[in-house]
Structure 1
Amino acid sequence: MALLKPTHFKHEVPVLFHEPHVEGGFRPLHQPWGYYLASLFQRHNECLNTWTHLIALVMTLQRLYEFSQEFDLLYDPYMWPLLAGMITMILLYIGSSGAHCFQSRSELVHYTCFMVDYAGIGLYGLGSTILHYAYCSDPWLFSFMKHLYLPVAIFLSILVCVCCSISKTMYQRPYPFTRKVWQLASVILVYTWLILPVVHRLLICLETSQWDNSISHHLQQMVWFITSGFFFGSDIPQRFYPGKFDFLGHSHQLFHFCVMMTSYKQLDSVLLDIKQFENQIRARPMPSFFSTTGAVVFVSFANTLVVMAFREYVKRSHVSSSKKQNGCQNGIKHDKNS
């Protein structure tokens, strides 16, 4: 394609765009938007990071279509939690694939793309909470948590966006361990909250020795999530062979695959729970717009404000200071030439 340009080595791009143990395949900065879109069909170090979640997006849309044939997602309020949860999955995969596709355009775009990605992660935490409490929770836990689970989920979902944005904008490479704490602490908090109904179900099954049909899928969902955390934090396998996994086999690609499988097995388990406990689910108070899609809209708006605020901070601090440094360097070069 005429739009495509040769990729660069690590030393040819700003430090902001470096990744640990990745040596090549960096796309040039300041190209037209169409170039980064066309680079989906080019060999570079973000190519499969983009494609993994584009494929996950297609799979989720396919599942949404299948569920729409089986359930009335629009006019049956008891199916609104399912619709809300799937909307957050779709937004997660759009944000993630878009971030990896376009982040190389400039420093400001880089920061903005990944903060949008963090907003999607927070939204997915909210959607998973809605799904698990609506369809996977034991009657006692649902009754005990029915007025609490949603406000806490909303708060934690926004907290993920805030904390991850802090980790991205307040620290410079080489990143300290504190940056990981900002990222992981907020994600672990929201995951602990959203997985609580599933863990409670597992404890009941262990106590009664009665395993229902969905438990194996719930367990697989949890294993895939834990595995995703391992690949996200370990930089394995590329830490042992720098430069060898720049295109294929990088830990972030494996992380993306595990996230995709987490959501896929999550939908399998939720579907079985809906079918298995439908009478129990419909005996509960009818879900409202605000407790489902309305909550997704609210958190989307709140996270948009968070992203805009941090984007302004980046424009005033990182981007402006970077321009000044570049200007000084250009001035020095000019003086030497003269």
Structure 2
Amino acid sequence: MLLNCAQPLPLLRHTDVPPRVIENFILTGYRFPNYSLRDCLLSAFRPTNETGNFWTHFLPVFIFFYHFVEVFGWESAPHGDDPFFYPLWNYFIGVFCLLMASSLAHLLNSMSIVVREVCFFVDYGTISAYTVGSSLAYYYYIHPRAGLWQTQEQKDFSVDTTQEFTQSSYAMVDFDVFFNKFYIPSACTVAIICVLSCCNTRQKWRQYRYVIRTLVFLLPFFISSTPIFYRLLTKSPYFNKSSSFASSSTMAVFFYRHCFWLLLSAVFNISKIPERFAPGRFDIWGHSHQWFHCFTFLSILDELHMIKAEVKAILLSPSLLVATSISPPLPGPTIASTYGVMLLLQTTIVSIIVGFSWKANCIYGPERDRLVKDRMKKHTKCH
């Protein structure tokens, strides 16, 4: 019987797709296999089990951008290409790549098994790049001495007063070596470990893949958040009655909310609630991965608000703002220390993705080729 080529490809049940494609407790709405690029793009507007996964990370790109550009309109903010904003732009790159890679991975993964593997390898890579982008923002805006140096005003103080300021509990020497020498390298190293581990879960340990992926990304959270933990446990660098203090004091609330959304996203990703209790009922809308996406984005949004609060605090204290004409205890951001770090990390991640993709092609290439031949035979019948 001839196929009706004008109609979209039929959606399949879990019994009609390769076991590799089946998601726990999702019974219907599968697109896989043999979708063309055009079919995949059009499926964004069809009710499939990936439609919600696509939109819950694609639409947030625009929401994030709306809140992000607000910083550059502040009265005290320098121009957008000023070195002061290099870490913030790297953070934006990390978030943008994460959201776009995640949404496109869910949209395009039905082209073949090999493409599916590559899509999610890229997804894991952008998550790790995002964690390093966050670390760069934390380092330059929430570092224990972010934006601080000894000003002429401070030099006019008595020796005892200046000594008290620089040796306060806020600037403990014990942590200087870690923050200044090991913080960013540690964040990059952990990010690479996360990519390797998550990519491996697509070929090994598949029974525990969701638990492993969730737990693996807890490690970069704790490493990246070290400056925040330090700030929460020490006194503010700003005078209590200053506008900088008022802005910086909101950081704790945003961070706790950031942690709350992350915890919820982890719970839904591991537990597979609600589809676990009603297999088949949440195949299209409302399954756990969509909630995971929503809560992940809410955590990112609160993280952005937290970073913006610290950026504003620094901008409201020009006497404490890092100036390129003065050598501060914490060097200001440069192209090499921000974009250079991200470029080196991305190059490493891309090489890892290429390696795993080559291996996936060796494993699943024959099956992909067989499905392509079957598709061509069906297409021939249409003419």
TM beyond 0.5: yes
Tell me if 1:214 matches 2:245.
Answer: no
> Which residue, out of 105, 108, 114, partners 1:108?
114
Q: Deviations over 1:9-41 (max 9, x none)?
A: 111111111000001000142122011001110
> Which residue, out of 2, 9, 13, partners 1:5?
9
> Which residue, out of 333, 336, 344, partners 1:287?
333
Cα gap change, 1:203 to 1:285, in 2 (>3 Å): same
Residue in 2 that maps onto 1:204: 234
Residue in 2 that maps onto 1:335: none
Tell me if 1:45 matches 2:49.
Answer: yes
> Which residue, out of 92, 98, 102, partners 1:96?
102
Q: Which letter does structure 2 place at the counterpart of 1:132?
A: Y
- Specify which structure has the higher proportion of helix: 1
Tell me if 1:270 matches 2:293.
Answer: no
Q: Which letter does structure 1 place at the counterpart of 2:354?
A: M
* Secondary structure in 2 matching 1:26: coil
CA displacement at 1:103 relative to structure 2: 0.6
> Which residue, out of 147, 163, 184, partners 1:150?
184
Residue in 2 that maps onto 1:162: 196
Cα gap change, 1:180 to 1:32, in 2 (>3 Å): closer
The residue correspondences of 1:29-68 to structure 2 (distance < 5 A) are: 29-68=33-72
Cα gap change, 1:52 to 1:226, in 2 (>3 Å): same
CA distance in structure 2 between the partners assigned to 1:307 and 1:62 by the alignment: 31
* Secondary structure in 1 matching 2:81: coil
> Which residue, out of 180, 198, 221, partners 1:191?
221
Q: Which letter does structure 2 place at the counterpart of 1:226?
A: L
Residue in 2 that maps onto 1:330: none
CA distance in structure 2 between the partners assigned to 1:262 and 1:85 by the alignment: 14
CA distance in structure 2 between the partners assigned to 1:325 and 1:83 by the alignment: 44
Cα gap change, 1:184 to 1:213, in 2 (>3 Å): closer
Tell me if 1:135 matches 2:157.
Answer: no
CA displacement at 1:293 relative to structure 2: 1.7
CA displacement at 1:182 relative to structure 2: 4.2
CA distance in structure 2 between the partners assigned to 1:3 and 1:131 by the alignment: 48
CA distance in structure 2 between the partners assigned to 1:67 and 1:18 by the alignment: 43
Aligned length: 319
Cα gap change, 1:135 to 1:3, in 2 (>3 Å): farther
Cα gap change, 1:11 to 1:271, in 2 (>3 Å): same
Residue in 2 that maps onto 1:334: none
CA distance in structure 2 between the partners assigned to 1:117 and 1:187 by the alignment: 13
Higher mean C-alpha displacement, 191-200 vs 306-315: 191-200
5+ residue gaps, structure 1: 327-338
* Secondary structure in 2 matching 1:270: helix
CA displacement at 1:159 relative to structure 2: 1.6
* Secondary structure in 2 matching 1:146: helix
Cα gap change, 1:323 to 1:99, in 2 (>3 Å): closer
Looking at CA atoms only, which structure, 1 or 2, has the larger radius of gyration?
A: 2
* Secondary structure in 2 matching 1:75: coil
Cα gap change, 1:285 to 1:248, in 2 (>3 Å): same
CA distance in structure 2 between the partners assigned to 1:82 and 1:180 by the alignment: 31
Q: Which letter does structure 2 place at the counterpart of 1:217?
A: F
* Secondary structure in 1 matching 2:278: coil
TM-score, normalised with respect to structure 2: 0.77
Residue in 1 that maps onto 2:286: 249
TM-score, normalised with respect to structure 1: 0.87
The root-mean-square deviation of aligned C-alpha atoms, in Å, is 2.5
CA displacement at 1:287 relative to structure 2: 1.0
State whether residues 150 and 291 of structure 1, in contact with CA within 8 Å, keep that contact through their aligned partners in structure 2: no
CA distance in structure 2 between the partners assigned to 1:291 and 1:232 by the alignment: 34
CA distance in structure 2 between the partners assigned to 1:205 and 1:19 by the alignment: 48
Tell me if 1:319 matches 2:365.
Answer: yes
* Secondary structure in 1 matching 2:96: helix
Higher mean C-alpha displacement, 307-316 vs 144-153: 144-153
Higher mean C-alpha displacement, 65-74 vs 258-267: 65-74
CA distance in structure 2 between the partners assigned to 1:156 and 1:281 by the alignment: 30
Q: Deviations over 1:104-135 (max 9, x none)?
A: 11100010000000001101110111111221
Residue in 2 that maps onto 1:333: none
Residue in 2 that maps onto 1:302: 348
CA displacement at 1:202 relative to structure 2: 2.2
5+ residue gaps, structure 2: 146-170, 323-327, 372-383
CA displacement at 1:162 relative to structure 2: 1.1
CA distance in structure 2 between the partners assigned to 1:265 and 1:318 by the alignment: 40
